Structure 1
Amino acid sequence: MEILNHQGEPVTHSRALLPGPTKLRLHYYTTSTSPSSSDKPALLLLHGVPKTSYYWRKVIPLLSHKYRIICPDMRGLGDSSHPASGYDMGTVARDFADLMTELGIEKFHLVGEDWGAAAAYALAAQCPNRVKSLVFQEMVLPGYGLESWSAFTKVHVNSGTWLWHVGFYAVPDVPELLITGHEREYFSSFIKNEAWNPSAITPDAINEYVRCYSNPGGLRSMLSIYRATLETGDQNREFSKNKLKMPVLAIGSKHFIGEEVKRQMEYVSEKVEYKELPWGHQLAEECPEELAGVYLEWLEGKK
């Protein structure tokens, strides 16, 4: 499925070679490179795991009439390169800051979901003067609950939101052994299980995610994010010593993380608004029109 803007035009795909010893090439796409696009406020959309920037394809044309959209693939994921290290969210966030600098964008609005929300928080914490507003969607931060949400308890197992995979992915070597060769079955089941409407996860999305996580280094990079969870937790506790001052909207799914996202942001931000949607974890797949409407309404006046 081709990714289009509000005028039905294809987005522009590029790769940026970022500064630093790893020579990281970050794949990203933008909705417009025309001179008039620079007049629009920039909006950076960060995807979660096990997804890629393709996750935002249904939302893009609903936002691009008002915003210059930038959608990157996280380091090691999608069509970005797969470095051996740097999967803590502090480092991942600096990748995105470097990308925006490369694009000549000093200030921007920021939306992140799942691990993209963890990266978005780390970016806002490290570059508070660049982030005009933050949307934190469907994530529990390392250091503030992700570890405990993965615990094997009656409460978690019966809730339907037991994050069992956090500990599993952190185990060296074993996830690679069990998932390799079964990527389609595994990721299709995993992603649909977190949705309230599994039929919203269309075959083109599964094909794209399986393609990317089956590429050399794709699975290893994804697992490296989880293997850096404790390091990211330490970073978050340090970041939170200075609470965020920019406007923050926490978005939760009624049938997944829900209002916990508000509590997460209250730990680290001075003022938080909350919006709950009656779907599952995969909001941009399940309710793109509703989700885009929430973004547009909340961003209005924050330009």
Structure 2
Amino acid sequence: MSSRAVPGRPGMTTTAETLVARLDGDFTSHTVDADGTAIHCVSGGTGPPVLLVHGFPQDWYEWRHVMPRLARGHTVHAVDLRGVGGSDAPADGYDAVRLGGDLAELVETLGIGPVHVVGHDIGGWAAYALTRLRPDLVSSALILEVLFPGLDVPDSPVPGVPLWHGEFHQVPHLPETLVAGREEAYFRYFLDIGTAVPGVVTDDEIAHYASAYGEPARLHAAFEMYRAIPKNARFFRDGCDPVDVPLLLAGGEQCFGPLMPALARHLTAAHGWSSVTDVVVPGGRHYLPEELPDAVAELIERHAQSVRK
């Protein structure tokens, strides 16, 4: 495994190694070959393995406040999805199944399975796919703040947050054209409305995220993840085989949290999951690992501990 800097425009962000050095604990930055695609992750700590998967518009650094606490009792691996940050950005392969396949390759290459996988936002789709397709590699799954296209969930409340960007991001080429060079302003919009405390994500941190998506191939990759939604919807809808991995769905009180109970019931009743529980995080919105890291770390620790009992 080799160290690798997070690519970006000069002066906009620091390397992964510099960011890792700021973490409280002994963490290292490295890449792993996942069937020909280099996947970057940051690892540290000792104990049962936890795999952290970021959402949009973030990279591994989303977990910076959660990782040191988890590392006291777990070996933590925070990954960059393909196309983001320090990972390779191939032209295709951004559907949930392929992203989950990258995670499976990473787990097998590192020899760390089974893992407690935690996915936020789009990272939740990848974590779900990993768990459904390779349950042998997963001890437990915790999915934060994401819904699953293609699932017709009975009695589900209507989301109380704007979701316009999902359709916009699926338009071919246009989002790249409009957002290129304006990543910081665009990402700031989402991170501001998605957190309950103004400024919880700083300008420097947003500049880092902008750099993680700043190359044309990486910005394209971000929108390709949304263009894969129709394919993902078929995967989520058709997946009904039994899965005997404990799944916890968590959402912020001010975002998707109120929808989690109905989704949990539906996955148990219609999609083969043997154990699905749900949690609403009080006071939280969408970017829970950044605005309420202690609450998220406690959820992860508690869920992982419940599996070991």
Question: TM-score, length-normalised on structure 1?
Answer: 0.87
RMSD: 2.0
Alpha-carbon shift at residue 4 of structure 1 (Å): 6.2
Pairing 1:1-303 to 2, within 5 Å after superposition: 2-3=19-20, 8-19=24-35, 23-32=36-45, 37=46, 40-144=47-151, 159=160, 161-239=161-239, 241-268=240-267, 269-277=273-281, 278-303=283-308
CA distance in 2, matches of 1:10, 1:2: 12
Q: Secondary structure at the match of 1:217?
A: helix
Q: Is the contact between residue 141 and residue 246 of structure 2 (CA under 8 Å) also seen in structure 1?
A: yes
Measured in 2, the distance between the counterparts of 1:135 and 1:143 equals 20
- Do the aligned partners of 1:4 and 1:57 also contact (CA within 8 Å) in 2? no
Tell me if structure 2 keeps the 8 A contact 1:5–1:60.
no
Gaps of 5+ in 1: 150-154
Displacement, 1:52? Answer: 0.5
Q: What is the CA–CA distance in structure 1 between the aligned matches of 2:300 and 2:90, rounded to whole Å?
A: 33
1:129 counterpart SS class: helix
CA distance in 1, matches of 2:265, 2:51: 22
Can you list the C-alpha shifts for 1:166-202, whole angstroms capped at 9, x where unaligned? Answer: 1000001111121112111111112211111232112
Post-superposition Cα deviations, 1:262-285, rounded to whole Å, max 9, x if no partner, equal: 333433323222211121101111
CA displacement at 1:87 relative to structure 2? 0.5
Which piece of structure 1 moves more, 243-252 or 43-52?
243-252
Contact 1:251 1:262 in 2 (8 A): no
- 3-state DSSP of counterpart to 1:110: strand
Structure 2: runs of 5+ lacking an equivalent: 1-17, 268-272
Cα distance change of structure 1 residues 265 and 212 upon mapping to structure 2, 3 Å threshold: same
Give the % identical residues: 30
- Once structures 1 and 2 are overlaid, which stretch shifts more, 199-208 or 110-119? 199-208
Deviation by residue 1:193-229 (Cα, 9 ceiling, x = unmatched) = 1111232112232011011111231110000001110
Aligned-partner residue type, residue 212 of structure 1: A
In the alignment, residue 271 of structure 1 is paired with which amino acid? S
Structure 1: which 4+ aligned runs deviate by more than 4 Å?
none
Please tell me whether the aligned partners of residues 260 and 279 of structure 2 are also in contact (alpha carbons under 8 angstroms). Answer: no
In the alignment, the residues of structure 2 paired with residue 125 and residue 246 of structure 1 have an alpha-carbon distance, to the nearest angstrom, of 9
Instruction: Tell me the matched-pair count.
Output: 282
Displacement of 1:253: 0.3
